[in-house]
């Protein structure tokens, strides 16, 4: 028999008429109400807690009150912006307080109990792993193609300042997320089955391809990498990495014993990615051909196809 059931039976005999409902507050502001009848089994004379309902309630409550922690990051000038701690629902304390409300009463309001959460990357770590460049790569695009340039910049921002710890894997799709209008991505040319088309997020493969070449130069382990169905001109032949939310992904693994930091920029027709780490890393770099600085013909044709002048 579970502890909650034993506790409920034990306290049943102490139950009287208590306030209903219970108002949950955060910083003195009411955010939700709970009623006893909604979270107990309708058994004659035995008001046992419906733990499944209570767990679902706590899931919803946590979404309302959670404040995610923020990692330390580097700004455009390389200065460290400090981390910020977060907070989330303390489910253990909340459960204890809810049981007290159900069987002991004595209160009708409850300040939601919180516990601190901490970022993965703090200022101290960042100051160590920003020091040494172990790989970098740059590609070029036509900045007059506004929609495509906008998407390239958004994708670069999504991976900028990301830290991959030893033995961790980086998934482009997981980190960047689904490319949607709600996230600011625009319609721009894409390659579909070897033909030029147009879709939301067109152009982000230039960032995944630039990243592939940067991490390959840094000697990191490539787990998944797929080429487009036709050549792209912003990287040398065979050096691209196509990505799609419902399709291919680009994944690499950090096999070094030090964390690595991704620094990504896209502005003025140039996408640049630098892989950094600490002075203690013993990287094994690979030779990777550089991209041409000449504006790719395919990018010019994409500009025409999108209707951007």
Is residue 154 within 8 A of residue 183, CB to CB? The reply is: yes
- Say what the pLDDT of residue 223 is: 98
> Do 160 and 263 form a contact (C-beta atoms < 8 A)?
yes
Question: Phi then psi for 112, rounded to 5 degrees?
Answer: -60, 125
How remote is the C-alpha of 297 from its chain's centroid?
34
Domains belonging to the chain, first-starting first, are 3-117 (3.10.20), 124-304 (no CATH)
- Round to whole Å and give the CA distance between 114 and 119: 16
64 contact partners, CB below 8 Å, separation of at least 6 = 26, 31, 32
Question: What pLDDT score does 308 carry?
Answer: 34
Cα-flanking dihedrals φ and ψ of residue 81, to 5°? -100, 120
What integer pLDDT is reported at residue 10 of this predicted model?
46
3-state SS string over 148-175? Answer: HHHHHHHHHHHHCCCEECCCCEEEHHHH
CA–CA–CA angle 23, 28, 32 (5° rounding): 30
**Contact call for residues 45 and 58 (beta carbons, < 8 A):** no
φ/ψ of residue 109, rounded to 5: -130, 145
pLDDT at residue 86 in the model: 97
Q: Which residues of the chain have pLDDT under 50?
A: 1, 3, 5-16, 195, 197, 298-309
């Amino acid at each position: 028999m579970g502890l909650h059931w034993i506790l409920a039976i034990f306290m049943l005999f102490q139950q009287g008429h208590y306030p209903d409902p219970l108002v949950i507050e955060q910083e003195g502001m009411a955010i939700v109400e709970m009623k006893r009848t909604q979270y107990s089994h309708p058994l004659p004379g035995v008001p046992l807690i419906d733990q499944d309902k209570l767990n679902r309630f706590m899931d919803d409550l946590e979404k309302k009150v959670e404040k995610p922690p923020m990692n330390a990051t580097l700004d455009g000038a390389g200065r460290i912006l400090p981390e910020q701690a977060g907070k989330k629902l303390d489910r253990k304390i909340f459960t204890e307080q809810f049981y007290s409300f159900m069987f002991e009463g004595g209160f009708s309001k409850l300040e939601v109990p919180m516990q601190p959460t901490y970022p993965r990357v703090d200022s101290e770590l960042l100051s160590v792993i920003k020091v040494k460049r172990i790989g970098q790569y740059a590609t070029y695009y036509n900045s007059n193609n506004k929609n495509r340039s906008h998407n390239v910049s958004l994708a670069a921002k999504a991976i900028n300042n990301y830290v991959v710890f030893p033995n961790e894997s980086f998934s482009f799709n997981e980190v960047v997320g689904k490319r949607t209008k709600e996230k600011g991505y625009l319609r721009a040319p894409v390659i579909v089955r070897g033909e030029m088309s147009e879709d939301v997020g067109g152009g982000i493969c230039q960032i995944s391809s630039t990243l592939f070449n940067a991490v390959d130069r840094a000697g990191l382990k490539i787990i998944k990498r797929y080429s487009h169905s036709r050549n792209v001109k912003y990287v040398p032949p065979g050096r691209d990495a196509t990505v799609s939310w419902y399709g291919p992904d680009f994944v690499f693994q950090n096999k070094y014993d030090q964390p690595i930091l991704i620094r990504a920029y896209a502005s003025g027709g140039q996408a640049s990615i630098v892989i950094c780490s600490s002075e203690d890393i013993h990287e094994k770099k690979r030779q990777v051909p550089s991209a041409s600085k000449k504006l790719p013909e395919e990018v010019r044709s994409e500009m025409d196809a999108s209707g951007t002048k």
